[in-house]
Structure 1
Amino acid sequence: MNAREALEIVCSRAWPPLVEEPLNDWRLRWAGGFTGRANSALAVGDPGLPVPDALRAVCDFAHARGIQPMVQVIRDSPNEHAVVAKGWSQATRHHRGHEVVVLTTPLTGTSPVDGVEVHDEPTPAWWELTLGPGEDTPAARSVLTGGKVGYGVATADGVTAGVVRGALVDGWLHIGRLEVAPAFRRRGLAKALMGALHTWGVEHGAGHAVLQVAEGNAGALALYAGLGYAPHHRYRYWVPAPGSCEDSTS
């Protein structure tokens, strides 16, 4: 398994689904529809059988759980070429963006900022700011609290103004769900939250940080570039062509 594939496994472990079934190196995942990462097949490495048969298994797994069959594949990898050869299409309707860049940086601690802390447990206000409309489900809460997690909180004017999530996996700090309330943006809170989480990661033995950002999110990409993050690789989501992945479980 190469470095890109190994890092995708780290990211998957930092974002644990409710159900995960191995298909040799591939991972079939389900989490009640909460996020593409937790409800797709991570197609890295060798599935242990021909890719057409592996994609059939992806379809059957998804249909049995009532979700759209979808694979997450490293861009321009042999697996992606094989998926394309079977007529699958890019998942352009994926609401958070189907093309994603994975960014990494070495970790260093920063000076603390007043009002910004990392907690061992999520606060009620952390949940309120983290979860979007319709996302507050048991599945979402399970994914976001799985593993060793730190919950960053920025307080301003007596309220929770920003949040972020960090998960530790094999010396990596995986960062996600950075959110600043609209009324508190452009005050440097996102940078402060990232700094606090970086320090928390260093204190817990992490040497590098990784995060996954939709390629179309120019603001986030600029923020992370300013914090020293650089592209490691890219991945895309793919879905079956209409009629090519009928439900054989019914």
Structure 2
Amino acid sequence: MTPDIAQLTAATEATWPPARIVDLPGWTLRDGAGGGQRVSAATATTSSPDIATMIAAQERLGQPPLVMIRPGEESLDSRLEMEGFRIKDPVTLYLAPVDALAIAPPPVSAFQVAWPPMRIQEELWLEGGIGPDRLAVMARAEGPKCAILGRSKDQPAGTAFVACHGDIAMLHALEVTPRLRRSGTAVNMMHGAAIWARDHGAVWLAVLVTQANAPANALYCGLGLSPLGGYHYRVK
């Protein structure tokens, strides 16, 4: 059975976890420790949470007031807009059966690297703006996880992070160095990630991508992943 949004949200949180969770009346806050929006956003736990409470708590954490708006939270979305929160980075969630993607890539084009990643992978991530704080997010993920290394033209060309939560594998932080893009590296890494996921008991492979990232959206659609909805942020 295809996982629902709640299951996919749980897999996202487990495979890309915040430094800590702060529970407040009406809210769940995440201390991202510099790891980006997904691990720093507040989410509502009631239909009409107090916005001022969230703002104050985010400021105490040293984070901007940032809220993730999920399907069905249109009322909260409107309230935040009235409070001066603007929409930021709408995200689409894509999903495919692992077996559909677990196709052997060409020889020496994608490698599974047992955690921790290689130094060259850290350098490739850093080149794409994924630094130590986001590597710390990956390190916090519990359960099976792997770093995928892509090669092209006999050079390290890309890297990605994949981790399992139950029968769902989530792929995060796929980066290909600009000088070696359009050479099939991302496709090869996706196939390599799916093979790893299948071998670790996953049935589904999911990814999250901002709607503004046209190349990534084209990649996932071209590979046959299906969009299953998504979310957006509101930031003060």
TM-score by length of 2: 0.86
Q: Which moved more, 1:230-239 or 1:127-136?
A: 127-136
Q: Cα–Cα, structure 1 residues 38 and 238, in superposed 2: closer, same or farther, change >3 Å? A: same
Q: How does 1:1-250 map to 2 (within 5 A)?
A: 3-23=4-24, 27-43=28-44, 46-47=45-46, 51-53=48-50, 55-75=51-71, 77=72, 79-86=73-80, 87-88=82-83, 89-92=85-88, 98-108=89-99, 109-115=102-108, 116-121=110-115, 122-132=117-127, 135-137=130-132, 139-145=133-139, 146-147=141-142, 148-240=144-236
In 2: Cα distance, 1:231 partner to 1:134 partner:
25
Q: Distance in 2 between matches of 1:232 and 1:24?
A: 30
**Root mean square deviation of aligned Cα:** 2.2
After TM superposition, give the deviation of residue 26 of structure 1 in Å: 5.0
Matched length = 226
Distance across 1 between alignment mates of 2:153 and 2:26: 48
Q: Which amino acid letter does the alignment assign opposite residue 120 of structure 1?
A: A
C-alpha separation in 2, matches of 1:38 and 1:202: 26
Question: Which residue identity is paired with 1:36?
Answer: Q
Give structure 1 stretches of 5+ with no counterpart: 93-97, 241-250
Alignment partner of 2:49: what SS? helix
With normalisation by structure 1, the TM-score equals 0.82
Unaligned segments of structure 2, at least 5 residues: none
> 1:218 offset after TM fit, Å?
1.5
2:160 match: secondary structure: strand
Q: Check 1:25–1:13 CA distance in 2 against 1; reply closer, same or farther (3 A cut).
A: farther
Identity in percent: 25
Corresponding residue number in structure 2 for 1:245: none
User: Is this contact kept in 2: 1:74–1:233, CA < 8 A?
Assistant: no
